[in-house]
Amino acid sequence: MTQAPTPARRPEPASAVAGTQALLRRLIGARTDIEAAVDISTCEPDGDRQVFSYQATGGRLQLRGSDPGALASGFYHYAKNHGGAQFTWDEHTLDLPAPLPDAPPTRRTTDLTTRYYLNFVTFSYSAAYWGWERWEREIDWMALHGINLPLMVLGHEAVLLRAFTDLGLDPADAAAWIGGSAHFAWTWMGSTNSWGGPLPKDWVAGHLDLARRVLDRQRELGMTPVLPAFAGHVPPQLAPNGTPTIEWQGWRTHLLPADSADFARVAAAVMTAQRELLGTDHHYAVDPFIESVPPSGDPAYLRSMAQGIYAGITESDPDAVWVLQGWPFHYQRGFWTDERARAFLDAVPARRLLLLDLWAEHAPMWERTDAMFGRRWLWCAVHNFGGRFALFGDLDGLRDGLGRARHSSDRGRLEGTGLTMEAIENNAVFYELLTDLVWEPEPEPDWLARFARTRYRTDDPAAAGAWEILARTLYAPGRTRSIPSPIIARPWGPEAPFATQRLAGEFVDTSAPERQSANIDAENDPRVLGDLTDLAEAAHLLIGLHPDTPASGPLGRDVVDVVGHIVAQHARLPIRAILAAAARGDADGVRRAMTDLRAHILTLDELADQLPGSRLATWTADARAWGADPAEADVLERDARTLLTVWGRQDSGLHDYSGRHWSGLLAGFYLPRWQLWADWLADASERPDGAGSADVAALRQSVVAHEEAWRTATTPGSPVPADLPALPALARDTLARFPAPPAASTAVAPSIDPTREATPTFPEKKE
């Protein structure tokens, strides 16, 4: 029998009902009298299983649930299956008919009673500059999708500033170590420090207020927020001489030994500050070595670290549960032998540790670690790395992978699921399916057709036809990795840049002699170009659903994304043509191919301009809005631009890790960089000795100069694009201009089986 759900606190029935009523008022209250149309009540769990049920007749819905998460999940099940409505990142309203449609008696249960949400880095890659309105919508999304254990690190800068200054650190030194707005996530995990900023003078107070609002709403909906706790990472001023450091991408961070008095003192200060500022729900995210190698491999040291971290939490909160990402045991698995992992984990009482199998849809750890070393654990999906543009997701594998864990006799102490993607607002189908699988382990065969019908609010069979194509191409078996956009790759020498870099997320090869790049996936699948003909057919089906497709909402989003994918992948051809022309010393050929590549990128820029969420101007305006004056806004914009491009310092090896298909970024950043590369190759081709003698150092110097100039530029008052062409016409014209390449073109790229966990073999060349 499985252990009781991790979020053990069960709201009183009246509180659960009130929270659900408030949720429904926000979602459908404009057209429906909630009190008159929806009868909400709680019921007992079905043993260890959560349960919801509903029935609707005569415009009145009777909704029952064992807890707030079940109530909200039950309502969303009704809304999708009987009201024809979805609530996704692309659809911001739940537009149910009035009166509410009838529904037969329906009941569902689940043994996956804990549903975790978010990754530390989601707070940077997606939510760095959100205000309350966006957070409110996201919390409603969480509720409808059954989330009951959300990570909540918003406002942690206020906690650390309070704790560090209470310990005697100068406020300016504390703020400098915490760094800038775009990179908090990595500071909280001990990866970076002292990068970016300074923060606006009102930032900390404003985000503390925002954090309190978020927590209040999550608690109102019966969620158990997971707050950060102290892992030992400190500014150097709080580290005694001899304190070891850990390294990540060139940053070094002091790590206090957890068995030291200094560690206990800082841990107590952090816990006290957090409790006073934000309260507690007794669940804490602590990741001392997320992607860094610990200072010592001695099992005794690792055991002492875990014991000290746990003691630092429980001495302030005896009811504490430690939520630990299992990522280090995958990413640095050359270090984390079974002996070391067990020494670390066994130092914490079994009921007080919850382990996340973070990338289970691609590299399931539970199958090779005795069900996560016998600890309580959640089956999680990372799916997206860095927010990079990519349409993908193995839908069949998602169902089969979770089902295999769920029904295995070796599942151990599996308690639920987690959505731990690095960035959100992409590939809604993947997340709708995963959250449905919690309550529907065996979805109906027509699940995808119903998804399409509900997503576009149409019974036109073309909707299902388009998704049938997408399901056997972009979302086919084995598509557990993103298909990289070649536009985002960084030209850095005479070779194709997207064929020389390590697959993002794969474990680090500790035997490699050089640092490995993690900035973009390799060009690893020869099927990509071969799929473009089918994808063009899917795009035409989508375009034809509504002649007046708006440049917003789910249909507009999917048209822009699918057509954008086609154009981006088609751009492999002019990139290869540039290389081929340079190899034969044809400078004019290089320039002609670059003109073709320019057309691809400018078309992508125009497509992206159709969607507010795909504009650089939206991202930078949101960042600038947190500044009280132009100088503060300029700093915020610099940090926001840096994350998307250089990521950090020039030597960090993370360039373009968070690259996006955004207007302004495509035409303003990627296009000039490709032009530098093409000009360099063309100039070299005109020399007697050809491109082989090209000065690589000169190219790299010009690329770095461009990147640094762009990331530090500012665009106050950037206008919103106007007078854009109608999306259907633009999309049709684009498909006509970039027809699918002949089948022979698909065999050019080297093949790496996308279904396997690849050993990295492409170390980045040192400068």
Q: What three-state secondary structure class fits 163?
A: helix
* pLDDT reading at 307 higher than 70: yes
Look up residue 720 and give its DSSP letter.
P
Distance from chain centroid for Cα 176: 27
Task: Give the residue-averaged pLDDT of 577-589.
Answer: 94
Model confidence pLDDT, tens digit, residues 243-281: 999 999 999 999 999 999 999 999 999 999 999 999 999
CB-count exposure of residue 622 (10 Å: 0-12, 13-18, 19+): middle
Q: For residue 236, give both structure tokens.
A: 């150097």
Pairing of strands 50-57, 103-110: antiparallel
CB 434 within 8 A of CB 419: yes
Three-class SS state of 46: strand
Angle formed by the axes of helices 132-144 and 13-28, nearest 10°: 120
Q: For residue 722, is pLDDT > 70?
A: no
CA distance 538 to 558: 10
Amino acid at 665: L
* 198 cis-preceded (ω within 30 degrees of 0): yes
pLDDT of residue 318: 97
338-351: pLDDT as tens digits: 999 999 999 999 99
Catalogue the E-assigned strands of 87-200: 103-110, 114-117, 149-150
DSSP structure string for 724-755: PPPHHHHHHHHHHHSPPPPGGGGGSSPP--TT
C-alpha–C-alpha distance, residues 46 and 66, integer Å? 8
What are the structure tokens assigned to 87, written together? 């609530």
- pLDDT single digits (tens) 428-455: 999 999 999 999 999 999 999 999 999 9
pLDDT band at 523 (very low <50, low <70, confident <90, very high): very low
In the chain, what percentage of residues exceed pLDDT 90? 81
| Residue 76, token pair as written in the block | 């969303």
C-alpha count within 13 angstroms, C-beta hemisphere, residue 549: 28
The phi and psi torsions of 198 (rounded to 5 degrees) equal -75, 160
SS3 annotation, 510-554: CCCCCCCCCCCCCCCCCHHHHCHHHHHHHHHHHHCCCCCCCCCHH
Structural tokens at position 761: 């073999």
Q: Judge whether residue 744 has pLDDT over 50.
A: no
Q: Rounding to the nearest 10 degrees, give the CA dihedral for residues 432, 438, 439, 442.
A: 90
The CA distance from 559 to 475, in Å, is 16
Phi, psi of 269 (to 5 degrees): -65, -40
What would the mean pLDDT of 720-740 be, rounded to a whole number? 80
Cβ atoms within 10 Å of 513's Cβ, excluding its own:
7
- The whole-angstrom separation of Cα 579 and Cα 345 is 51
User: Two tokens at 19?
Assistant: 């929270």
The tokens for 117 are 């949400």
Band (530; pLDDT cuts 50, 70, 90):
confident
Overall residue count recorded for the chain in this entry: 767
Contacts of 375 (CB under 8 A, 6+ apart): 345, 350, 353, 354, 355, 412, 413
- The mean pLDDT of 400-414, rounded to a whole number, is 97
pLDDT 10s digits, 612-651: 999 999 999 999 999 999 999 999 999 999 999 999 999 8
* CA 39 to centroid of chain Cα atoms: 36
Nearest to 41, CA basis, from 63, 20, 22: 63
- Check: pTM over 0.85? Answer yes or no: yes
Q: What is the mean pLDDT of the chain?
A: 90
Closest to 443 measured CA to CA, from 407, 398, 480 = 398
pLDDT at 45 over 80: yes
- Strand duo 413-419 + 114-117: pairing: parallel
